Amino acid sequence: MTGLHHRYQSKRPVWIIILASLVCVSLLGAYIYPPRGYSACYFLSSSICSKDWLPPVPARVYTDEEIAARVVFRDIIAAPFVQSNNPKIAFMFLTPGSLPFEKLWEKFFQGHEGRFSIYVHASREKPVHVSPLFIGREIRSEKVAWGKISMVDAEKRLLANALQDTDNQHFVLLSDSCVPLHDFDYVYSYLMETNISFIDCFDDPGPHGSGRYYKHMLPEIEKKEFRKGSQWFSVKRPHALLILSDSLYYTKFKLYCKPGMEGRNCYADEHYLPTLFHMVDPGGIANWSVTHVDWSEEKWHPKAYRAQDVTFELLKNITSIDESYHKTSDESEKIHLDWMTALQCRQCAVNLDTFSVRSLDAILYWH
Ligand SMILES: *[C@@H]1O[C@H](CO)[C@@H](O)[C@H](O)[C@H]1NC(C)=O
Ligand SMILES: *[C@@H]1O[C@H](CO)[C@@H](O)[C@H](O)[C@H]1NC(C)=O
Ligand SMILES: *[C@@H]1O[C@H](CO)[C@@H](O)[C@H](O)[C@H]1NC(C)=O
């Protein structure tokens, strides 16, 4: 499959502007984020595309399960936000094993005790920690097969553990190759002050978008609702609850969105949350992720950084990115939007061995 995809960056609405960032520097991106197709976006969606001259289509009659799911979602979203006296951000690391940038994260967190909590889902081996902040932060984990529903299960496991702490108000999913691009205060105020979740979501009519849709998902999920996006999200507490409360749509993806199904590939972690939120709370998500991945080379893998690539200048460039686009896999659309990202996550196919101390120094200096 091919990849490519969407890249984004942006600058935009005046109201949100500035932001912060985590860059995921690469490392092992390919294995965390195996080559797949991703693609793009298009997101001027429905209102613009609707054809006024068509007779109105009668509304579909919902199944019992849909009615039940939708009232639960509606009330979770509408419920008054539970205010905490000590609001924290949950940083949830989804990693195969040890976190190569623990020292960097420690520096990021230092001096902000009480305003964050850390959760680590290590799917392959027990991590060796170099920072006391990460010791004892592992949750019970299971194996994760990239692209399969076990990836979504790991995300839900992290959310469930993080929701146990009622002070956690915002939940950020990060990979082991993510590094922070902005300082803690910047990230904290950006995420705490916004009322939306950062879930990447776009309509890709191409083979790596709705070409992965199966009609078995009917009647609940129609092809026109099928969406795509990077798996790295950051969600407000009500949306975290909504994700855990869903079993109807989750089950559809578990059964009918998997690699190699009927000769085609579908990756639940790229489609489940974008599609779910597009259907149940489209106005509550940014349609962009706060993490940054560079797909500008338009290859199967995101841009790879070698140790010598990671310089002060590169980091400065990434933090100044102020516009972004999603690219669809049918090559038809490339839409630029202005939007400013809060956290940026860069994943790339960099060999861990080549990611030297020198790179880490550049990043540490950046902070
Ligand atoms: C978020 O806040 C903005 C500005 O206050 C408001 O216009 C918007 O409707 C809010 N969005 C949600 C999902 O509450
Ligand atoms: C995200 O896209 C949906 C349409 O799918 C739109 O309703 C919503 O306003 C968009 N979110 C933002 C923050 O623009
Ligand atoms: C940073 O951006 C400038 C201007 O776009 C470009 O010329 C330079 O090559 C970039 N440097 C790196 C390291 O990406």
Q: Residue 133 pLDDT > 90, yes or no?
A: yes
Reduced to 3 states, what is the DSSP secondary structure of residue 285?
A: strand
Report, as an integer, the average pLDDT of 83-88. 90
Cα-to-centroid distance, 315 and ligand 3 (Å) = 10
User: Rounded to whole angstroms, how far apart are CA atoms 244 and 200?
Assistant: 18
Mean pLDDT, rounded, for 44-60: 49
Q: State the ligand closest to the CA atom of 77.
A: 1
Q: Residue 286: what pLDDT?
A: 87
> Helix/strand/coil (H, E, C) string of 182-211?
CCHHHHHHHHHHCCCEEEECECCCCCCCHH
Whether 290 and 198 have beta carbons less than 8 Å apart is answered as yes
| Nearest ligand 1 atom to alpha carbon 281 | 13
Q: Whose CA is nearest to atom 9 of ligand 2?
A: 283
160 burial (CB, 10 Å; 0-12 / 13-18 / 19+) is middle
- Alpha carbon of 196 to ligand 3 centroid (Å): 32
Compute the mean pLDDT over every residue in the chain, rounded to the nearest whole number. 73
CA of 345 to the centre of ligand 3 (A): 18
Rounded CA gap, 228 and 231, in Å? Answer: 9
Residue 283 DSSP class: G
- Residue 238 above 90 pLDDT? yes
Strands across the sheet containing 178-180:
178-180, 22-24, 291-292
| Residue in 202, 276, 287, 340 to alter for ligand 2 test, most ligand atoms within 8 A of Cβ | 287
Percent of the chain beyond pLDDT 70? Answer: 64
Q: Report the C-alpha gap between 7 and 153 in whole angstroms.
A: 26
pLDDT tens per residue across span 6-46: 434 444 444 443 333 443 433 333 333 333 333 222 222 23
Q: Using CA atoms, how far apart are residues 11 and 24, in angstroms rounded to an integer?
A: 19
What pLDDT does residue 254 have? 93
DSSP code at position 280: H
Pocket of ligand 3 (CB under 6 A): 311, 313-314, 317
Domain ranges of the chain: 7-44+107-366
Q: How far is the CA of 314 from the centre of ligand 3 (A)?
A: 7
Report d(CA 27, CA 355) in Å as an integer. Answer: 7
pLDDT-derived band at 330 (thresholds 50, 70, 90) equals: low
Ligand 2 center to 12 CA (angstroms): 14
Q: Which atom of ligand 3 is nearest to the CA of 311?
A: 13
Residue with CA at minimum distance from ligand 2 atom 8: 283
Please tell me whether residue 179 adopts helix, strand or coil conformation.
Answer: strand
For the ranges 105-114, 136-145, 193-202, 248-257, the lowest mean pLDDT is seen at 193-202
Query: pLDDT category, 322, cuts 50, 70, 90?
Result: low
Dihedral, 76, 82, 84, 87 alpha carbons, nearest 10: 30
